[in-house]
A and B are shown apart, each in its own frame.
Chain A
Amino acid sequence: MYVLIAGGGKIGANLARSLLRVGHEVTLVEQRRDRFERLEDEFEHVVVPGDATEIFVLERAGIQRPPNIVVAATGDDEDNIVICQLAREKYGVDKVIARVNDPRNQVHFDLLGVSPTVCATSSMMALIEHEVPEHGLVHLLELPKENVEIVEVQIPPDADCAGMRIDRLQLPDGARLISVKRNGQFEIADGDTALRPGDQVLAILQPGKEDELRRVLLKT
């Protein structure tokens, strides 16, 4: 497989090293002269100097072949979006992967169809949220393009909804309960399932309905 990596920082360089070790062909593009020289000592002809958002640099790096995958791993989100758009739209690269540096820019990557993306901050935040649920609701899966997400809620000890059947709950439109985990056992949530304190409930809902769902399941 041939992989073109834009950005020779820690992520790009380590990715290149790992891919080369398992026998893939790699080109790494690095803009900063000092960093390029250090990388060249290790990677030799694999690393190409230049700004990977410049068309002639991309072409010198072999984008016209085209690569099987282009990874945009620079420290600049606008650059990463442009690299992915050029790779896909101009050179017909099938698969692009983009690094998101500032999680607030995730919406722009989504809007412009640049996916998949990897954001270190969001990944860590999701792990922390899982450990210490904030406001009782943990995001397990988000599919922004499909406008749907899956969350986990733990029913508090004195919740108003405890003891109620699921079909009696005033769930918001665009939200459904999927399953209830109780004493380590999963069961599919039916209308006649009664909630109990401590239940871990999975729900599928449209983004933005979290507060309404909290009101139904967490209110005490």
Chain B
Amino acid sequence: MKAIVIGCGRVGSTVAHELREEGWDVVAIDEKEEALGRLGEGWDGGFVVGHGMDTSVLRRAGVEDADAVVVSTDGDNTNIVVGQVVQKRFGVQCVVVRLLDPARAEFYASQGMRTICPTSNAIERLNDAVRSCIVPEPARTA
């Protein structure tokens, strides 16, 4: 199985690593060559320098026979457009797109995009954490 991770920051590089460890063929794409450093010295997957909007970069990474693509650059709108291009132009079935803005994440999810919103997750977790801190009122003694 082959996966492409577009945007190799903290999130992308870790996703790439975990998939690689699970036995996937992984190619990471990032605009900056320094991003390769995040993958570590022992990285034995692929790495392509370039922008996700550039179809020649996507082709070089092997998008045409990818089984899954993770889009996790630091730009929500770039992720939205690249995710659609990968799905519609190259017919990749499994495209997962990270969006920081909950409003856009919700709208594009309603359009059929598989969006992951770390912001919404953080809000839920924070609220849960606060709720679990509340000391229950002492039970009334009779």
Chain A residues at the B interface, C-beta cutoff of 8 Å: 53-56, 76-79, 81-82, 85-86, 89-90, 104-105, 107-108, 111-112
Contact = CB atoms under 8 A, between A and B. Distances in A.
Contacts of A54: 101, 103-104
A112 B111 CA distance: 13
Contacts of A112: 81, 84-85, 88
A82 B80 contact: yes
B89 A53 contact: no
Nearest to A104: B54
Given A53-B77, A78-B77, A82-B104, A107 B84 contact: no
Contacts of B81: 77-78, 81-82, 108, 112
Given A82-B77, A82-B81, A55 B104 contact: yes
Nearest to B82: A78
A76 B55 contact: no
Given A76-B77, A78-B53, A111 B85 contact: yes
A105 B81 CA distance: 11
Interface of B: 53-55, 75-78, 80-81, 84-85, 88-89, 101, 103-104, 107, 111
A78 B81 CA distance: 6
A108 B53 contact: yes
Contacts of B54: 104
Nearest to B107: A90
A79 B77 contact: yes
Contact of A78 (B78, B89, B103, B111): B78
A76 B75 CA distance: 11
Contacts of B111: 89
Nearest to B52: A78
Residue of B76, B77, B103, B104 most packed against chain A (CB within 10 A): B77
B77 A111 contact: no
Contacts of A111: 84-85, 88-89
B105 to A, nearest CB: 11
A105 B77 contact: no
Contacts of A79: 77
Given A79-B77, A81-B77, A82-B77, A55 B103 contact: yes
Given A89-B107, A89-B111, 11 more contacts: A77-B81, A78-B53, A79-B77, A81-B77, A81-B80, A81-B81, A104-B53, A108-B53, A111-B88, A112-B81, A112-B88
Nearest to B56: A104
A107 B77 CA distance: 17
B85 A108 contact: yes
Contacts of A78: 53, 75, 77-78, 80-81
A76 B76 CA distance: 12
